[in-house]
Structure 1
Amino acid sequence: MKIALIIHELLIEGGGERQCVCLAHALAENGHDVRIWTSAYDPDNCFPEICRDLRVEQVQRGRWPWLRWPWFVRGYLDMVHLTDAIKEGSQVWSPQHWPAQWGAVWLKRKLGGAVVWNCNDVPNFYLKSRQTRSPLLKALYRIYYLLDRVQNRRVDMTLLVSEWAEREHRAIYPGPTRVVHPGIDPTQFRPGGDRIRVRRRFACSDDEFLLIWLGIFMPHRRLEDGIEAVSRLASRGIRVRLVLAGSDRSFPQYVDSLKALTHKRGLQQQIIFADKVADEEIRDFYSACDAFLFPNDRQTWGLAVLEAMACGCPVLVSRGAGVHEVLTDQVNALLFPPRDPVELANKIEVLVKNPVQRREMAQNGMRLARETYNWSHFAEQIEAVFSGIVEFNDTPPQMVFANSSPRP
């Protein structure tokens, strides 16, 4: 099958970017002709080890490449250029992020094929129009909301990563949907990382309880809840250290606010800020911590949680993250309400005081992540959707009628 994955940018090592390149790799290993099309690509900073064996085509940005804001205008211009640049058809156009589905439906109209949208984050322009105070932005958001709905009518199938994301999508867009949970690479994420080296790096003794968060600093990560929880535990006489490691390129002001909160609470010795962790070191970080923290709110999934679990690490996960839907509280994870540092502190205290429960939970989580949620299984489900839609589109009209259920 000839498959084109379309993603607006491949510049950082985020969850959506990892999903795109790992899916491409798995589909290519299954014998499909796979190509990734993007407007902007940084081969040195976006999973170079994975992308090395992939065909990634960068078509450059569209008109006015210096324009970065409003971001949705930038996306529109880039997708117009990408559509014009691609001359070769595909059986499946698979956009990975907004606004890639715009380019995909235009390519479908231009060159044929089917569109299957892997929608990780649902773009709710209507909600944004109600939240902004700017009359200009309000008008632009509403125009884009209407245009977005029109474009999505040409999408053959939308794949969502969680039931929560599917509900969000159905409230905005028409068309069929299906939930397919992403996974991890069990050969990369496995027990046995260099625990001692990472703990020495942060001057953390083996008997200290170490929490770690890894990712891209963004406000919806709710890392302030983790800082407040550590502060509450300190007031109870429970010492916990928290490492926050990630890229601050997107929201440097958010990182500044977290550092200010750390200073205000007097936690400079307990809260450690670190740079983005190289892909080859992530396993060591998961192995070094006593628990992995994921306090995110309104997060459609949460690949990092499954990565940590696959490495044998206990996880604390907010119910505001879509990944909590496949977890069981106190069996393979500890779940807590989003934006609730008090309950988060209580959950951390449970892990600190119960090492046996911690080990059992880690073992259960590792089995779940490694056996059920991996890229091979994810690619098989995606492949089945692609094949079904291509077969349906290739079926003559009279056969479609014969095989369809009669309307009531």
Structure 2
Amino acid sequence: MKIAVITRSLIFSGGGERQAIQFSIELLKLGHEVTLYTTKHDSKGCFPDDVKKITLKTLAFEQKSLFPASLKRLPLVGDFFHMYAENRLAKRVALMIDSDTEVLNPNDSWGTHVALYFKKRNPRAVSVLMLNDLYTARWSLFDDPLFGGRKSLLKWPLYFLKDFFERTLFFHNLDSVVVLNNRTVGLVSHYMKKESVIVRSGVDLNHFSYRQRSPLQKDKPIRLFCHGIFYIHRRYEDAIEALQILVREGYDATLTISGDYESRDIFRAYYDRLAKLVEVHALSSRVTFSGLVSESELLELYNQADIFVSPAHLQTWGIAVFEAAASGLPTIISRTIGAAEVLEDRVNTMMVNPAKPNEIAEAVQSLVESPLLYDTIAKEANRFVRNNVSWRRYAEHMLAIFKKTYERKNA
């Protein structure tokens, strides 16, 4: 099949970016013709080695805005100009896509705009959305009380109209929708009035190899590790608070957090909050912020760690959890991330409630006090990942949906 994978940008080394790139690589291995389309690409910041393995097309230049910056900052008016600008970009990317492309695979909501404009010229093509995260005017994970609460009810009529526009014009044009977890199935049904199916993301099993760990001891160094771009839903503050509890109770524990915190203002602001928290708790000698790391450096961080912690709230999947498991690390994860839908508490992971640092600390203590539990969770998680989570498996499931969707439309 001739397939176009579409994503808004490839600037960061995040889970969504890794998924789009690895999926493209697997499609090529399976003999399909695939091109990854995006508006812009940072050749150094977004998986530079993997991008070399695929055909990537980006816009040749940034189109200048037709409107003055002062108008964009106005309430409501700025939203309109932003939507207009994003649509212009979508139309330009749609014109880049080869006319004989059979399947469009947007990897975000913006990509549904590209799909609509391409299919107006090429009606036989099908569009299958991989919706990593759902952001609508009426719902976003950042509306959750842990991230600040709901938006003003006074704006809800406008939010409803905006969602209605997105739903009727773009989402209803899609031929199939794929999501990563059960929660998103419900959200897509409620807000976008669209059915969706679940396909779990993958991991590179050859890249992340299993390493046997020795049992932990309370008076010996215990190295905790978190990884991911510095979005606030990571809730790294919970890992820092858990570290304080462990140190107070006599554990020789340290915490390393890797991930980009410099590319955007919101990343930097979150990092500054965390840095202040570390200072308040006098943990500067025990907490390391590694920043953006290369693939080889990430492998080394997994290999050096004793326990991987993912305290995120409402994260749709959690690729790093499975990378850690493939590397032989026992994991502690929040019950509200997508990975918790497929893993089992105290069987192949340790689960905690979100925003509960004390539970993270207790989970670490359990792994230290029981060498059998530590070893069992590491081995069972690795077994689960190698039997159930891979990019080949992800690609095959997506291809089955592509073929079924295409045959149904063009029968």
Q: TM-score range by the shorter chain?
A: 0.7 to 0.9
Contact 2:278 2:287 in 1 (8 A): yes
Residues 1:272 and 2:285 aligned together: no
Counterparts of 2:173 and 2:12 in 1: how far apart (Å)? 29
Contact 2:258 2:291 in 1 (8 A): yes
Measured against aligned partners, the alpha-carbon deviations of 1:164-223 in whole angstroms (never above 9, x if no partner) come to 221222121123311000110111011259x9xxxxxxxxxx930000111111111001
Contact 1:156 1:176 in 2 (8 A): no
Given the superposition, is the C-alpha separation of residues 36 and 148 from structure 1 closer, same or farther in structure 2, using an over 3 Å criterion? same
Q: Which of 101, 106, 109 is 1:98 aligned to?
A: 109
Q: Which of 224, 244, 247 is 1:234 aligned to?
A: 247
Counterparts of 1:183 and 1:220 in 2: how far apart (Å)? 21
2:216 — aligned with what?
none
1:189 — aligned with what?
208
Residues 1:126 and 2:135 aligned together: no
**Pairwise CA distance, 1:85:** 3.9
Counterparts of 1:38 and 1:227 in 2: how far apart (Å)? 36
2:146 — aligned with what?
none
Contact 1:61 1:78 in 2 (8 A): no
Secondary structure, counterpart of 1:253 in structure 2: helix
Letter in 1 for 2:132: N
Contact 1:79 1:100 in 2 (8 A): yes
Q: Which of 186, 196, 203 is 1:167 aligned to?
A: 186
Secondary structure, counterpart of 1:125 in structure 2: coil
Letter in 1 for 2:34: V
Given the superposition, is the C-alpha separation of residues 87 and 309 from structure 1 closer, same or farther in structure 2, using an over 3 Å criterion? closer
Counterparts of 2:62 and 2:188 in 1: how far apart (Å)? 28
Identity of aligned residues (%): 27
Contact 1:62 1:81 in 2 (8 A): no
Measured against aligned partners, the alpha-carbon deviations of 1:29-64 in whole angstroms (never above 9, x if no partner) come to 111110111111122221122111211000244452
Given the superposition, is the C-alpha separation of residues 86 and 378 from structure 1 closer, same or farther in structure 2, using an over 3 Å criterion? closer
Counterparts of 1:23 and 1:178 in 2: how far apart (Å)? 18
Q: Which of 144, 151, 156 is 2:175 aligned to?
A: 156
Secondary structure, counterpart of 1:153 in structure 2: helix
Contact 1:155 1:175 in 2 (8 A): no
Residues 1:215 and 2:250 aligned together: no
Residues 1:109 and 2:117 aligned together: no
TM-score norm. by structure 1 comes to 0.88
Q: Which of 332, 345, 348 is 1:329 aligned to?
A: 345
Structure 1 runs, 4 residues or longer, greater than 6 Å off: 65-69, 137-140
Counterparts of 1:235 and 1:213 in 2: how far apart (Å)? 21
2:56 — aligned with what?
56
TM-score norm. by structure 2 comes to 0.87
1:7 — aligned with what?
7
Counterparts of 1:43 and 1:88 in 2: how far apart (Å)? 27
Residues 1:258 and 2:277 aligned together: no
Unaligned runs of 5+ in 2: 73-77, 144-148, 214-218
1:146 — aligned with what?
164
Contact 1:215 1:276 in 2 (8 A): no
1:29 — aligned with what?
29
Counterparts of 1:371 and 1:85 in 2: how far apart (Å)? 38
Q: Which of 312, 330, 333 is 1:296 aligned to?
A: 312
Secondary structure, counterpart of 2:39 in structure 1: strand
Comparing 31-40 with 55-64, greater Cα deviation is found at 55-64
Aligned pair count reads: 384
Measured against aligned partners, the alpha-carbon deviations of 1:355-400 in whole angstroms (never above 9, x if no partner) come to 23111110111111122100001100001000111111121xxxxx
**Pairwise CA distance, 1:119:** 0.3
**Pairwise CA distance, 1:72:** 5.4
Measured against aligned partners, the alpha-carbon deviations of 1:208-250 in whole angstroms (never above 9, x if no partner) come to 0000111111111001111111112222222311111111023
Calculate the aligned-residue CA RMSD, in Å.
2.5
Given the superposition, is the C-alpha separation of residues 168 and 175 from structure 1 closer, same or farther in structure 2, using an over 3 Å criterion? closer
Given the superposition, is the C-alpha separation of residues 157 and 61 from structure 1 closer, same or farther in structure 2, using an over 3 Å criterion? farther
**Pairwise CA distance, 1:145:** 1.4
Contact 1:19 1:182 in 2 (8 A): yes
Comparing 112-121 with 73-82, greater Cα deviation is found at 73-82
Counterparts of 1:311 and 1:239 in 2: how far apart (Å)? 23
Given the superposition, is the C-alpha separation of residues 239 and 359 from structure 1 closer, same or farther in structure 2, using an over 3 Å criterion? same
Residues 1:82 and 2:82 aligned together: no
Comparing 60-69 with 96-105, greater Cα deviation is found at 60-69
Counterparts of 1:14 and 1:76 in 2: how far apart (Å)? 24
Contact 1:63 1:81 in 2 (8 A): no
Contact 2:188 2:195 in 1 (8 A): no
